Amino acid sequence: MHTKKIRTWLAALLAGSLTLACAPAFAFGFPDVAKQARKLAQTAYKKPASNLPKAIENLSYDQYRDIRFNTDKSLWRSNRLPFEVAFFHQGLFYDHPIKINEIVGTRVREIKFDPHSFNYGKNAIDPKQLEQLGFAGFRVHYPLNTPKYKDEVLVFLGASYFRALGKGQRYGISARGLAVDTALTSGEEFPQFTQFWLERPRANSKELTIYALLDSRRVTGAYRFIVRPGNETAVEVKSQLYLRENVTILGVAPLTSMYFFGENQRSAVEDYRPEVHDSDGLSVQSGTGEWIWRPFVNPKRLLVTSYALDNPQGFGMMQRDRAFANYQDLEAHYEKRPSVWIQPKGKWGSGRVELVQIPTPDETNDNVVAFWVPEHAPKPGQPFDLEYTMRWQKEPETTPPLSWVTQTRRGHGYTHKVDDSLALIVDFEGPALAKLAPETKLEGVVTTDANGKLLETTAYRNDVTGGWRLAVRFNRTDDTKPVELRGYLRKDNDTLSETWSYILPPN
């Protein structure tokens, strides 16, 4: 190749304008991260040490938030690429640096921290004291809602936490790379992404590839994230884990959200808002084809439940209620919070979807966690591979093909005689119900555990929505124990809805 051609090719490569057919293979990929994870697992864990100077270490929450990244310094902005990356400053909860690299064709370079890339606001900080710091994390921008502006679509910040957005969405639910021993009395372990590699996109790229190295006292791991922003932003996840030693609960594809109160559980204090939550329930698609819906609750004590499954087809924390009138919050706009659906690739085998619900006194705490727990965790040193796609959704969302629960309400109506019984009203909607004649008779099939006694079950058409309503009245034998109920709609021998799976926490 002539010298002039080489220069032209390199200029095009650095500008990101080479087509896929012309671009050379990248010199760094998932096997390289997996090799590092495997090697890391063979060594003793080294807890990251803080390198914060006093000027940063003593900042308050508001002072730390006053540190802003200068967006004109964003990675790839000067190259006019579709994706741009901005960075988070160390400080507050983020007291040790995260190494971030860029992959450009046949080379990998570390992106060095530069204090002059940040605006420190009202903080009296000398940038010369900060030259040895690193980044706390990063955020990815892409023209999601309009071609004229690059919206924030993905953030990695803190431990192995990340969150994404699709079109017209607002941040709510978060995801993690891994959950370890969540809700155990022995304490939870929080693995951290310690290093990232960002693959420089091309000028016409509609996806971005990110690699990450995970580390904690008992687990290491390699991750690849392929991000495809859109009306539904999809994140393809490929992971390979290595245990240094055994863990009790290995939580795969963990999701973390907030549920304060809603239609099935009124606010304990006076609040003008009818509902406050980032997600209102857990949806599970089993390997047998059954769909299950569990509405969230804010319990008085820790509540852990699970669904044992073979080769699940998917699960997710969903925000099904999309009506502003049901939230009335002009600042938070909970109706715009994304649902996240986890779609496994390949067969995951036997295990369980575990749901952890933690008491919260307000809406500032993420108090609901869901993840997959494989029945057989890997042995220390043995690679454990899993792949899945995360779908950050708003409208449309993943729903069962027949019909699904749209709301669960608790309480008796006016005409009911007051007694000690409990009542739940469940509404279903969907194509299987919409095509039925109004006079169709459906059966509500409801069961309860030993702590509950069914008194009345009625199914009737909802002439406002065109769906069907299931009314359940029951007693609880022991108020100090929970009650589990399951119900669905049936016509003759045909199931017409997902399974409503409800747990009433103890008093």
Does any domain span residue 20? Answer: no
Contacts of 65 (CB under 8 A, 6+ apart): none
| In a shared domain, residues 195 and 276 | yes
Read off the pTM.
0.92
Question: Do 311 and 451 sit in the same domain of this protein?
Answer: no
**Per-residue model confidence (pLDDT) at position 5:** 41
CATH number at residue 499: 2.60.40.10
Model confidence pLDDT, tens digit, residues 441-475: 999 999 999 999 999 999 999 999 999 999 999 99
Which tokens in the block code for residue 87? 């960075």
Give the domain CATH number at 68.
2.70.98.10
Same structural domain, 385 and 408:
no
Say if 1 falls within a structural domain.
no
281-285 vs 291-295, strand pairing mode: antiparallel
Same structural domain for residues 241 and 304? yes
* Structure tokens given for 30: 């998932």
Q: For residue 108, count other CB atoms closer than 10 A to its CB.
A: 15
Terminal Cα-to-Cα distance of the chain (whole angstroms): 78
Distance, in Å, from the CA atom of 238 to the CA atom of 251, rounded to the nearest integer, reads 15
Location of structure tokens 């008093």? 507
Radius of gyration for the alpha carbons in the chain, expressed in angstroms and rounded = 25
CB 237 within 8 A of CB 389: yes
Closest CA to 178 of 374, 41, 371: 371
Q: Do the beta carbons of residue 504 and residue 476 sit within 8 Å?
A: yes
Tell me if 194 is assigned to some domain.
yes
Provide φ and ψ at 59, rounded to 5°: -70, 140
Cα–Cα distance, 55 to 39 (Å, whole number):
36
SS3 label, residue 345? strand
Q: Is residue 312 part of a domain?
A: yes
* Amino acid code (one letter) for 346: G
The answer on 440 and 345 residing in a single domain is no
In a domain, 37, yes or no: yes
User: Which residues form the domain of 471?
Assistant: 404-504
Q: Which pLDDT value is given to residue 417? A: 67
Let me know whether 229 and 373 are in one domain. yes
Residues 340 and 465 grouped into a single domain: no
Residue after which a domain boundary falls, among 365, 393, 421 = 393
**pLDDT tens digits for range 388-430:** 999 999 999 999 999 999 999 999 887 666 788 999 999 999 9
498 and 431 in a single domain? The answer is yes
Number of H helices, E strands in the chain: 5, 33
User: Is 7 inside a domain boundary?
Assistant: no
Residue whose C-alpha is closest to residue 179's, from 391, 366, 398: 366
Specify the pLDDT at position 437. 95
Q: Looking at 360, 393, 426, which one is the last position of a domain?
A: 393
Q: How much is the pLDDT for 415?
A: 64
DSSP tag of 200: P
Q: Are 216 and 180 in contact (CB under 8 A)?
A: yes
Please indicate, yes or no, whether residues 440 and 305 belong to a single structural domain of this protein. Answer: no
* Same domain membership, residue 469 and residue 379: no
pLDDT, residue 25, reads 59
Q: Residue 110 falls within a domain, yes or no? A: yes
Q: Are 420 and 272 within one domain?
A: no
| The residue to which tokens 């304060």 are assigned | 260
Tally of domains within the chain: 2
Which residues sit opposite 251 in a β-bridge? 179
Compute mean pLDDT per 10 residues along the chain, 507 residues long, and list them. Answer: 43 41 67 98 95 93 96 94 98 95 95 96 91 95 96 98 98 98 96 98 96 98 98 98 97 98 95 98 97 97 97 98 98 98 97 98 97 96 97 96 97 76 97 96 97 96 97 96 97 97 94
322 residue type, one letter: R
Q: Does 412 share its domain with 376?
A: no
Domain stops at, among 393, 427, 449: 393
* 18, part of any domain: no
